[in-house]
Structures are given as structure tokens and as C-alpha cells.
Amino acid sequence: MGVSNKTAIVTGAGSGIGAGIAAKLAKHGANLVVCDLNGDSAKSVAEKINTAGGRAIAVSADVTNWEEVSAMAEETVHVFGSVDILVNNAGALKDNSILRMPLEDWELVINTCLKGAWLCCKAVLGHMRAQGFGRVVNIASRAWLGNPGQSNYSSAKAGVVGLTSSLALEFASHGVTVNSVAPGFIEAPMARRLPPETQEKVINAQPIKRPGRIEDVANAVLFFCDEETSYVTGQILYVDGGRHVA
């Protein structure tokens, strides 16, 4: 029950929200594959989990690279015997008006958030279908509903929501659920890189006038990953202080 003895891959887990999700799942008894583009930060998160009595390995992988992603899935099965949970959390932010946005910034954000999630799903869903069990949680964003200056990010996260619905339908009969968590403003590096006046504006637009905690997102992810959450799929759970209804 719960996530005990399940094996989870969390991408972009070397910092911020991903590190918090990895720690939360490990605390609840899951084996962790801490994946990040930055191998050193992945190692440091995995070490912290192991020191706290959990079981974690670090994998340095670029989620936009199919060879690296498929090798990570194989290593996961080799080390822990299965892959039961995938949390697609790796992301990138490069805000600008579309008129000033270079093509590279469109491609970086679309590739990291959307192509990366698609590749990681492609790498693990065969294993999950074969074992008749799986939990995929895609970290979207409230921004998928649209934000000025985020044509790349909002499009990428809208794509993540579409990916979630499609895969929920494709894998429902195989014991695999696919859900999204859509955070709003969270006390984590990505949001804290926004200009201070933008941060203030965003928080003021929320019914709950404080930044969210990493723990708030991790709790939502844990709910979807639970073995007992087997009748919830294709869902978007907003963790945004009510911003999406404001």
C-alpha cells in the first residue's frame, strides 16, 4: 500500500520541487532514481536520501535525449527490479514576448518540458504495462491556461496536459494511471527567478495570498502515486492557492 517498495524515477530531481518530491516518496518507502541534467546535484539529493535511511541512486541524464532516457529506464529495472512510478518534473523557463523570443528559447522550453516528458513516458510505459501497474505524474503548471510572456512555457505545459489525457486513455486498462499536478507560485527556484514585482503580482492574484510550499506539491504527487489511488486518471490537480478559479 502507499508507495512502499515501489520504484520511482523523478526527473529534474537535483533541485527545487523535484528534490522535494524525491525526498517525500523516499520517506514513504519508495526506491528512488534521482535524475537530473546536473549529475552533481542529483548525487547530492540521492546521498541525502540514503543518509536519511532511504534507497536512492543518482542518474545524470538529459530528458530530451532518447539514448540517455532509455538507458536510465534500463538501469532502474536492473538496480531495483522494476519501474513503478515516473514523475516528469524536469522543466525550463525562458520568458519573453513572442516578438523578442529567440527560437532557441522556444525549443529549449518545449523540448525540456514536453519532449522530455514524452520520451520518459515512452521509456517506462512498456515496463508498466507488462507488470500491470504504473503511476505517471506529470508536473504541468497553472500557466498552461496562458500567461503573457510565456508563449513557450504555456504551450509546453498545455502539451503536458494533453499528453496526460492521451496516455490516461491509452493505459487505463493496464493498471497504469496518468495524472498531472499543476502548481502555481511555489517557493522554488523557477518562480524565485522571476522579477520581484512579477512575484508580488502573481501572489496578489491568488485567493490564498502566500507562495506555495514544495511540500504542497509533493503531497499532491504522493496522492497520485499511491497504490490505492487506482480509480483516478487523466486528472489535473491544481496546487496554486486557488489562482485558476480567481
Ligand X SMILES: NC(=O)c1ccc[n+]([C@@H]2O[C@H](COP(=O)([O-])OP(=O)(O)OC[C@H]3O[C@@H](n4cnc5c(N)ncnc54)[C@H](O)[C@@H]3O)[C@@H](O)[C@H]2O)c1
Residue 186 lies near ligand X (rule: CB under 6 A)? yes
Q: Which of 45, 73, 92, 203 binds ligand X (CB under 6 A)?
A: 92
Residue 115 CB contacts under 8 Å (≥ 6 apart), including other chains: 63, 64
Residue 203 lies near ligand X (rule: CB under 6 A)? no
Q: Which is the catalytic residue, given 153, 171, 185, 224? A: 153
Residue 37 lies near ligand X (rule: CB under 6 A)? yes
For β-strands 134-139 and 176-183, DSSP reports them as parallel
Residue 151 lies near ligand X (rule: CB under 6 A)? no
Our CB check for ligand X shows the closer of 111 and 133 to be 111
Q: Which of 18, 54, 159, 241 binds ligand X (CB under 6 A)?
A: 18
Q: Which of 8, 16, 72, 135 binds ligand X (CB under 6 A)?
A: 16
Q: Which stretch binds ligand X (CB under 6 A): 99-107, 172-180, 185-193, 218-226?
A: 185-193
How far is 28 from 4, CA to CA, in rounded Å? 6
Burial of 12 (0-12, 13-18, 19+ CB in 10 A): buried
Q: Is there a catalytic annotation at residue 153?
A: yes
Our CB check for ligand X shows the closer of 112 and 233 to be 112
> Could you tell me how many residues of this chain bind ligand X (CB under 6 A)?
29
Q: Which of 76, 82, 112, 155 binds ligand X (CB under 6 A)?
A: 112
Residue 76 lies near ligand X (rule: CB under 6 A)? no
Residue 46 lies near ligand X (rule: CB under 6 A)? no
Our CB check for ligand X shows the closer of 82 and 154 to be 154
- Residue 37 CB, shortest distance to ligand X, in Å, is 4
Residue 7 lies near ligand X (rule: CB under 6 A)? no
- Residue 68 CB, shortest distance to ligand X, in Å, is 8
Q: Which residues are catalytic?
A: 153
Give residues in contact with ligand X (CB under 6 A). Answer: 11-12, 14-18, 36-38, 41, 62-64, 89-92, 112, 116, 139, 141, 183, 185-186, 188-191
